[in-house]
Amino acid sequence: TFDLALGNHWTLGAIAVPNPTNAVAGTSGLIRITAAPISWAANFKFPAGAAPTIGTFPAVIPFYVQDATNILMGNVTEGIA
């Protein structure tokens, strides 16, 4: 599960990324991505309206919780070890 009450730094790989639980407005954090996610849940909102295609792993993407149903995603930094 992706529970923001347990922390705001997460690592994920080739999974269907679920909507996080306990998303509180104003929370921010980072997601370290080790393999291409299969999909992202509807609450994740990406620049330009679509999840990025990541070519080099691991990658890091920042997020900001606008409200319980809108997780604003930043730009991906690829190839970060």
State residue 44's pLDDT score: 97
CA distance 26 to 39: 24
Q: Is residue 4's pLDDT more than 80?
A: yes
Q: What is the pLDDT of residue 81?
A: 73
Residue-wise pLDDT tens digits, 10-49: 999 999 999 999 999 999 999 999 999 999 999 999 999 9
Look at residue 1 and tell me whether its pLDDT is greater than 90.
no
Q: What is the pTM of this model?
A: 0.91
